[in-house]
A = this chain, B = another copy of it.
Amino acid sequence: MTEAASRRRGRPPRTESADTRDRILNAAREEFSERGYDKTSVRGIAKAAGVDSALVHHYFGTKEQVFESAIEVAFAPALNAPEALADGPLDGVGERLTRFVFGIWENPGTRTPLLAIVRSAVNNDTAAAVFRRLVASQLLRRIAAQLDLPDAELRAELAAAQLVGTAMLRYVIKVEPLASADPEQIIRRLAPVVQGHLTGP
Contacts and interface: CB of A to CB of B under 8 A. Distances in A.
Interface of A: 36, 118-119, 121-123, 128, 131-132, 136-137, 140, 153-154, 157-158, 160-170, 172-178, 181, 185-186, 189-190, 193, 196-197
Contacts of A136: 169, 173, 175
Contacts of A165: 160-168
Given A161-B162, A162-B162, 8 more contacts: A136-B175, A154-B177, A154-B185, A157-B178, A158-B178, A161-B165, A161-B169, A193-B197
A113 to B, nearest CB: 15
A100 to B, nearest CB: 16
- Assembly stoichiometry (copies): 2
Contact of A181 (B137, B154, B163, B172): B154
Contact of A168 (B161, B178, B197): B161
A118 B128 contact: no
A154 B186 CA distance: 9
B169 A128 contact: no
Contacts of A177: 153-154, 157
A170 B164 CA distance: 12
A173 B132 contact: yes
Contacts of A176: 153
A169 B164 contact: yes
A175 B189 contact: no
B193 A128 contact: no
A145 to B, nearest CB: 14
Give the residue among A121, A123, A157 with the most B Cβ atoms within 10 A: A157
A128 B174 contact: yes
Contacts of A174: 128, 132
6 contacts: A121-B172, A121-B173, A132-B174, A140-B175, A153-B177, A189-B197
